Amino acid sequence: MGFDLIVRGGTLPDGRVADIGIKGETITAIEPKLDAETGTVIDATGNLVSPPFVDPHFHMDATLSYGLPRINASGTLLEGIELWGELKPLLTHEAVKQRALAYCDWAVSMGLLAIRTHVDVCDDRLLAVEALLEVKQEVAPYIDLQLVAFPQDGFYRSPTARANTIRALDKGVEIVGGIPHFERTMADGTRSVTELCEIAATRGLMVDMHCDETDDPNSRHVEQLAYEAQRLGLQGRVTGSHLTSMHSMDNYYVSKLLPLIAEANLSVIPNPLINIMLQGRHDSFPKRRGLTRVKEMQALGIRVGWGQDCVLDPWYSLGTADMLDVAFMGLHVAQMSSPADMAKCFDMVTNVNAAIMGLGHLGLEVGKRASLVVLDAGNPIEAIRLRPERLCVIARGKVVAERERRETKLAISGRPAMVNRRHVPPSRPA
């Protein structure tokens, strides 16, 4: 069988060493050894070959705007929303688009080839919606970009948000968002969940809602979200993002809530980089961690991914488009320290996130799309530890980014000249 491209001798996340044969845009063979009669060969010997990284929760309309028009002094979610409100009237179509495209370049260099971005619809111009719809088309050859209609200032709280959400969906935004904890009352939050899920059901769309992103244990909108998913037959199509209030909820209530979330087949996306930064700001000591109950939900079979949320914007002053940074932080905050849990964190930022986004064409299997990443690491756990170079990124069968392996030359006398942070376990006890 002829191939256009062979990725030779890489180590797959499950530990197999294999050649991956690519024809056109498709993986057509994964075998211990493939003959390369034709086509290009990429030597991945000793390197991890992974499915692409996937970010199921991002804000591409705000990214790379850090410092505009000022920085977030309190570091809270609420000041971030306020600051974004100051920036919004100043945005231009071209500026939003250029920043988004610049970010997509960063993403590709990091092997991040699928992104779900929320886009704020509380600007009557819907300027960001139109800019990101154009970006979606332009990056389609290498990034799967999904858009969520996100009423940032509240579906009911902002007078035109309801109409703008519908307008955005009519323009081609494919997922319904919401922010029930930001509505004026708990009752309004509950009503917003119901109406937004009804809109999604009527139009046959998915739902991905910012939900309970607060330290208030009484913020229980995820309960309504799960209830509506069941009532409206949306099981498997609804995602709750953040769910940070669950961290502070009473254990008895959570013991009743989690089975409901499992029955409704809700997906969950915690965003550890952002919420470890934003949450607990009203606490003295002890300060709460800004994370939902990840391991507890996974134990019940609930699908939990890791999202990035923000890079250099009103809510977060750092970020590099590296989903391994996200996995690294999530692993620490959720205390996922066992080898199985560490490996699971890598799976979360690749396969699990792809499943949450409904991207069944991604994955390292014959017949799937030929999108993959070669990393300077020996296995998934080492990848999280090192957050290493992406040596080669392939999208739809084409090399879209390449990088030389960097090594450090030590200037210290008597030490090895070259340093490699990869760890080879000793073959026998010392």
Ramachandran angles phi, psi of 287, nearest 5°? -95, 130
Q: Could you give the count of Cα atoms lying within 13 Å of 309 in the half-sphere of its Cβ?
A: 28
Between 61 and 382, CB nearer to Fe ion: 61
- Using the rule CB under 5 A, is 215 a contact of Fe ion? no
Which residue stretch of 69-77, 156-164, 301-309, 359-367 sits at the interface with Fe ion (rule: CB under 5 A)? 301-309
130/428 Cα distance (integer angstroms): 60
CA 355 from centre of chain: 12
Amino acid at 244: T
The active-site residue, picked from 213, 223, 228, 382, is 213
Q: Which stretch binds Fe ion (CB under 5 A): 91-99, 219-227, 306-314, 373-381?
A: 306-314
Binding piece for Fe ion, criterion CB under 5 A, among 100-108, 173-181, 287-295, 308-316: 308-316
Q: How far is the CB of 165 from Fe ion (least distance, A)?
A: 16
CB of residue 3 to Fe ion, shortest distance in Å: 41
Minimum CB separation of residue 84 from Fe ion in Å reads 11
- Rank residues 19 and 313 by Cβ distance to Fe ion and give the closer one: 313
Q: Is 309 in the site for Fe ion (CB under 5 A)?
A: yes
Q: In the annotation, is 213 catalytic?
A: yes
Residue 10 amino acid letter:
G
Distance CA 400, CA 275 (A): 32
CA 257 to chain centre: 24
Strands 238-242 and 206-211, how do they pair? parallel
Number of residues that bind Fe ion (CB under 5 A): 1
Task: Return d(Cα 427, Cα 18) in angstroms, integer.
Answer: 23
When asked if residue 322 is in the footprint of Fe ion (CB under 5 A), the reply is no
Among the residue ranges 28-36, 122-130, 304-312, 358-366, the one whose residues contact Fe ion (CB under 5 A): 304-312
Q: Can residue 153 be called a binding residue for Fe ion (CB under 5 A)?
A: no
CA distance 328 to 341: 12
CB atoms within 10 A of CB 17: 14
382 binds Fe ion (CB under 5 A): no
Q: Which residues are known to be catalytic?
A: 213
Footprint on this chain of Fe ion (rule: CB under 5 A): 309
